[in-house]
Chains A and B, each alone.
Chain A
């Protein structure tokens, strides 16, 4: 779920946009276990990579946690180096004067447990064997992420988050936070998310996983030990995912039936290739060079397994009756992967549980990806909500 960055390569710090958090440096912390997972297995220790933007205030009340989606990581905003072609994945919404205003908030973004950007995951070394975990890495649930994020909050000295924010799978974590640690979340911002995936969604994820596991280089998940990489399988998985994150309309507007090469002229043998084909292949290729296939499998499974109300008698109202947070929900009209109906179900459950909630259905042709992309209404609404979150903190400090 990456955005197409149009920005030029920055040459010197002065050329970084004024509303960027600027150059940022990832940090990591290793947490001593035992850390018990939802599946029953235990990690002796684990490492989380994270970045922070802005300044933690004196009473440590202005922390905002960013939960990432399927392929996200800790680099949510700013630049790692002046040579970076593009900023962090949610740079459009995090920074000075942006909806998640780093002049007001202390923003924490992390790479989730099981990830492949520096946090402990299937590509890490299993201390018990000295080899990469690979397929032996324990399966994770959203609640495992939430519990590890809570340990990160403890480490950073943040007792209560001003807001926990996330889109898609990140929104699921934000909702889980409000049930696992109701007293530690003042506001939850849940964007383009769902209380559980539909059968169609699980079907897409399964197709993506099959693509990876059927690549001859997958080697039952032990490709790192065998020094291969199921790149082609992962690329196809990403292409499938990518199609579903966009809308028919959005793809049509962007590419139509434009040709990249070839012709339909009689007598010309050159193969016809549409622009959309080369775009998708580029997306697949660039992704498969930077992402761990086992992590992709793990993350999509966590997505499939998520069911907010499972242990609340499958009753979302009963689930949310445990929440003490206020909620902002946003969905996008052309998002068919996490359709507006799914967000409306969340809004309904929250209203039945008498939990404060606002919900907006934002017009967009960009499909599920809309939550990452510029959109005037979304931006204004998000900013207004976060502005009140900040004002609330000010009011209490006085």
Chain B
């Protein structure tokens, strides 16, 4: 995960709250939230190597496949349900977001923007699916099976009546960083959405 989105998520989460991190990766976010904001919570992860890293850094991690839903969690049992850079790997992303808003009072979702100019350029010029540093997989062997653009995601939010409390767009490169505020769907690399019911 980019350092920048970590910072933003960190700012959006209140101290001493209960956080569930879906697809928590190596547990960096939860570790920082626990240390700096005294949150309590759990990460859900499916990759054994990532689970190992979470345990090594003392982060609570539970092996669970998000595609099988969150039916083991009670309604509104967490303050915030976070999911960073995992939306595009899910079998049914919309169902998981629905579940996130059932389990949490609010949710924070980040995902890579497939509408960013680099991806568009790659597809337009080479005629092939984009492969980049951020998305290094070939189309036939990728965990990322449901790419979307910022616009796509916002249409989904509208259709489901999910309220976008905040949206922040980040970009690592300097030029894109300057332009992302004007044309986020073209220049933003990653979006961070703060959703409520």
B partners with A: yes
Residue numbers of A with Cβ under 8 A of B are 328, 344, 347-348, 351-352, 354, 356-361, 363, 377, 380-381, 384-385, 387-388
Contacts of A347 in B (CB 8 A): 62
- The CA-CA distance from A347 to B51 in the complex, in Å, is 15
From the candidates B52, B62, B72, name the one contacting A384 in the complex (CB within 8 A). Answer: B52
Q: Are A380 and B61 in contact (CB under 8 A)?
A: no
Contacts of A348 in B (CB 8 A): 72-73
- The CA-CA distance from A358 to B63 in the complex, in Å, is 8
CB-contacts of B9-61 with A (<8 A): 18, 40, 42, 48, 51-52, 54-56, 58-61
Q: Are A354 and B51 in contact (CB under 8 A)?
A: no
Show 6 A/B contacts (Cβ-Cβ < 8 Å), sorted by A: A348-B73, A352-B74, A357-B42, A357-B60, A385-B55, A388-B55
Knowing A359-B63, A360-B63 touch, does A354 contact B55 (C-beta < 8 A)? no
Knowing A356-B60, A358-B61 touch, does A351 contact B48 (C-beta < 8 A)? no
Contacts of A358 in B (CB 8 A): 51, 54-55, 59-62
Q: Are B48 and A360 in contact (CB under 8 A)?
A: yes
- The CA-CA distance from A356 to B73 in the complex, in Å, is 15
- The CA-CA distance from A385 to B59 in the complex, in Å, is 10
From the candidates A356, A357, A381, A388, name the one contacting B52 in the complex (CB within 8 A). Answer: A381
Q: Are B51 and A351 in contact (CB under 8 A)?
A: no
Q: Are B77 and A357 in contact (CB under 8 A)?
A: no
Contacts of B72 in A (CB 8 A): 344, 348
- The CA-CA distance from A384 to B56 in the complex, in Å, is 5
- The CA-CA distance from A336 to B111 in the complex, in Å, is 38
Contacts of A377 in B (CB 8 A): 48, 52
- The CA-CA distance from A378 to B72 in the complex, in Å, is 24
6 tightest A-B CB contacts, nearest first: A359-B62, A384-B56, A348-B72, A384-B55, A361-B63, A358-B61
- The CA-CA distance from A276 to B74 in the complex, in Å, is 46
Contacts of A384 in B (CB 8 A): 52, 55-56
